[in-house]
Structure 1
Amino acid sequence: MSLLRLSLTDFRNHAVAELIAAPGLVALYGDNGAGKTNILEAISLLAPGRGLRRAPLSEMVRDGAGGGFAIFAEVEAGADLPPVALGTGVEAAQPGRRLVRINSAGAAASALGEWIAVLWLTPAMDRLFVDTAGNRRRFLDRLVLALDPRHAQHGNRYEAAMRARGKLLADLPAADPQWLASLEAQMAEHGAAMDAARQKTLAALSAELAEQPDAPFARPRLALVDSDGAVRATPWEAEALRALYAERRRIDAAAGRATAGPHRDDLLAEHALSGRAAARCSTGEQKAMLLSLILAHSDCVARARGSRPVLLLDEVAAHLDPSRRAALYERIAAQGGQAWLTGTEAALFADMPGTVTRFRIAGGRIAAG
């Protein structure tokens, strides 16, 4: 998967911008605040989800614009397929509603996942291993989504049924038991599907990571754990989940939330070589493990879908020493596909191997360079 052309209109600090890129490495360099990360964010919005910043749509509209923005891309989706046109944005009349078009036809945001997978690593993710369980769970779900575009639908339906169940539980004991059972059955169906997809993704990731060397990027060992920290060795079955929700109605009513289930699971990571919990490793080790994880996931997607995802690596090069930076470039160039990298200096990208497309970004203006 590669972006052949990317066009932005009134997105963040870019009034009108167009980038023509080739498969391989794409280097974006310029001063802080020039708009480099904004370009990566625009690319991330071509996949399902809220993008790499998870920002409200209203924040993405350029200051002084008319209330809307547009992102358009031509994507090389496969060697034997013609480029596909993907577009997303908002209109001034409906600033809170995201619009999606695929080959000029309206589509749901979830349909984007059939055509493109996008993985990213940003400075904000550096704290993943010491962050909240909710943020790690969202990170894992993004990894799953790149392998299984249906994962978002199961997640949305699970959340909707859980919210409806919560409202009914607030009226216990007067709540309709049949309606509660129906909602719990929906949660169980979609929760089991979510959990199976997570377990399958972690198994694939673990297999890829096991093939990687311990240097130059430390390998993490991964597991899914429940809210009590116990490792989840087998996926949830729908019937077991349904029984769990039914048993915990009074507990959940008192707590004001569903206290058990796939929505409470967490991603556990430890340094594969030392066995130390990732949260207790040094900052450098945590960054290395995160980078190793993203690269292994790119391999998983390529193996499962037959085409490599688009990689977005924001300010990664600046935090690596020259030998690790060179190793990173060699690896992603050898993998194939397309990777977009940002940095403040052109020198960070001077020794990139293979085909390299370079852009200098300054004040929302883009120049090939």
Structure 2
Amino acid sequence: MNIQALSVHDYRNLAEAELSLGPGFTVLHGHNGAGKTNVLEALYLVSTLRSFRTSDLGVVVRSGTEASRVVVRGFDAGLGVSSTLEVRLERRGSTTRRVATADGKTVRSGAQFYGRVRAVLFTPEDLGVLRGGPTGRRQFMDRVLFGRERGHIADVQTYEKLLRSRNRILREEGLPAAERERLLGTYETGLAQTGARLWTRRLELLHELQARFSGAFASIHGEAGEQADRGGAGPVASLRYECKLGPVSAAEREPTLLQALLERRALDERRGGTSVGPHRDDLVVLLDDQPAGDFASQGQSRALVLAFKLAEVQTARERSADGTPPLLLLDDVSSELDPRRTALLFRTLGEHAGQCILTTTSPRYIDLPAQVETRRYRVDQGTITPDPAIA
């Protein structure tokens, strides 16, 4: 869906905001804390029904009000019709009710609403993925898959529920042996079935992203051409999925995982937790076959994460029935990059991205190619106005 307009009401510090969005780039600029990221968060909410900053949706309702509303209007090229999507958050005491509507009709199932606006998000917090723990990197992969495979959300939720249940039985004392065996057997069968699907989708995702990721990093980082002029080569970026069970064919993943759960049951009982499965796997980002988290500079780290996002945009466009790329949301994208690499980044974005909304403290940091349609808005204390200098 190509978004043509955004309306935000009582969302964080945005009392009333209206933006007209073009098919190209929209630049939001202003001081830190002005409300730029709140706009991206509101768009992400319509895409995923979640915030990327908090699990408590009540805190996004503007102080002193009881409800927030985010409305997007756009054109669905796949269906050939205009469409209006709305997400309303109603705060009632300690709980927050979320209501989603599509063209005036309430959508009861989150899975049926999720993905009507496909969005790819970059935030500065994503840079912590490289040096953080495996949990963050698994979530990084799964967020991509949520937009590609509607069933992946349900599988992740089912797997986590089965995992908690198995761990509870492993730690429970005094349970009759027959009942313990029955319950563990049930949970292990479910973990193997669901876990094999998670394992397969993650592997397929990285395989599909691999070449595009390497190419995007070379374009953004820009060292390949310089090194080649001197007879060398720039650093090569790649992705690897690490699984404790090693390389296993798709047909063998379910039985292999089930066998591993059975074999480790005694060990897991002593430890009180499940030691094998997709919840223990990892995404490894490499530079010249070495883990980037160990030595990549801040600029390289930013280029690696942005390359992953660009690869995600390219594959999403190719998988789309109408060839439309997803909405790209970029928060504070150009910091930590020197001017030359910033120029390379925006040249690459101009070539591969479709509709893009990005934030910056100053428009002078955003040097987009002349042929890219660009709209600019100034954000100041929750008020959004077209930039009079560059409207």
Within 1, Cα distance between the matches of 2:302 and 2:367?
23
- Is 1:183 paired with 2:187? yes
Return the match for 1:343 from 340, 347, 360: 360
Instruction: Name the counterpart of 1:266.
Output: 282
Shift of 1:213: 6.8
Within 1, Cα distance between the matches of 2:44 and 2:285?
25
Contact 2:57–2:89 at 8 Å: present in 1 too?
Answer: yes
Distance 1:301 1:351, change over 3 A: closer
Within 1, Cα distance between the matches of 2:266 and 2:47?
39
Aligned residue for 2:120, secondary structure, equals strand
Distance 1:38 1:338, change over 3 A: same
Instruction: Name the counterpart of 2:232.
Output: none
Instruction: Name the counterpart of 1:290.
Output: 305
Within 1, Cα distance between the matches of 2:190 and 2:212?
33
Within 1, Cα distance between the matches of 2:248 and 2:51?
31
Q: Which of 318-327 and 261-270 deviates more?
A: 318-327
Listed as ranges, the matches of 1:195-234 within 5 Å are 195-212=199-216, 214-217=218-221, 220-226=237-243, 232=247, 234=249
Contact 2:217–2:307 at 8 Å: present in 1 too?
Answer: no
Contact 2:2–2:355 at 8 Å: present in 1 too?
Answer: yes
Aligned residue for 2:64, secondary structure, equals coil
Within 2, Cα distance between the matches of 1:263 and 1:97?
30
Instruction: Name the counterpart of 1:13.
Output: 13
Q: Which of 145-154 and 44-53 deviates more?
A: 44-53
Q: Which of 211-220 and 261-270 deviates more?
A: 211-220
- Is 1:331 paired with 2:331? no
One-letter code aligned to 1:340: I
Shift of 1:100: 2.4
Listed as ranges, the matches of 1:1-369 within 5 Å are 1-48=1-48, 50-66=50-66, 68-78=67-77, 81-93=80-92, 95-103=95-103, 104-172=105-173, 174=176, 175-212=179-216, 214-217=218-221, 220-226=237-243, 232=247, 234-235=249-250, 237-271=253-287, 274-279=288-293, 280-305=295-320, 306-349=323-366, 351-353=368-370, 354-369=372-387
Aligned residue for 2:25, secondary structure, equals strand
Q: Which of 338-347 and 80-89 deviates more?
A: 80-89
Shift of 1:346: 2.3
Within 1, Cα distance between the matches of 2:278 and 2:247?
10
Structure 1, gaps ≥5 residues long: none
Taking structure 1 as the reference length, the TM-score comes to 0.90
Structure 2, gaps ≥5 residues long: 222-234
Within 2, Cα distance between the matches of 1:77 and 1:18?
20
Q: Which of 319-328 and 194-203 deviates more?
A: 319-328
Alpha-carbon RMSD across the aligned residues, in angstroms, is 2.3
Q: Which of 325-334 and 280-289 deviates more?
A: 325-334
Within 2, Cα distance between the matches of 1:225 and 1:356?
41
Shift of 1:92: 2.5
Shift of 1:333: 2.4
Distance 1:115 1:151, change over 3 A: same
Q: Which of 180-189 and 287-296 deviates more?
A: 180-189
Q: Which has the larger radius of gyration?
A: 2
Q: Which of 298-307 and 240-249 deviates more?
A: 240-249
Within 1, Cα distance between the matches of 2:85 and 2:69?
11
Within 1, Cα distance between the matches of 2:217 and 2:134?
28
Q: Which of 280-289 and 213-222 deviates more?
A: 213-222
Shift of 1:350: 5.5
